Structure 1
Amino acid sequence: MSGPLSAAPQGGTDLDHVCSAKGCRAAAVHAVVWNNPKLHTADRRKVWLACNDHQKSLADFVALRGFLIEVVPVGQLADTDG
Structure 2
Amino acid sequence: MSAGAGRRVEGVNSPNASENVTICSAKGCRADAVWVLAWNNPKLHTPDRRKTWLACDEHREHLSQFLAVRGFLKDVVALEEWERSAADG
**Which of 51, 57, 63 in structure 1 is aligned with 2:68?**
63
**Which of 27, 30, 34 in structure 1 is aligned with 2:32?**
27
Larger helix fraction of residues: 2
Could you tell me which runs of 5 or more consecutive residues in structure 2 were left unpaired when the two chains were aligned.
1-5, 12-19
Specify which structure has the bigger relative contact order, considering alpha-carbon pairs within 8 angstroms and separated by 6 or more residues.
1
Alignment of 1:44-63 (within 5 A): 44-63=49-68
Q: Which runs of 4+ in 1 moved over 3 A?
A: none
Task: Tell me the TM-score normalised to structure 2 length.
Answer: 0.73
Task: Tell me the TM-score normalised to structure 1 length.
Answer: 0.78
1:76, CA displacement in angstroms?
Answer: 2.1
Could you tell me which runs of 5 or more consecutive residues in structure 1 were left unpaired when the two chains were aligned.
7-14
Instruction: Supply the AA of the counterpart residue of 1:67.
Output: F
Distance 1:43 1:56 in 2: 24
DSSP 3-state at the match of 1:66: coil
Percent identity over paired residues: 51
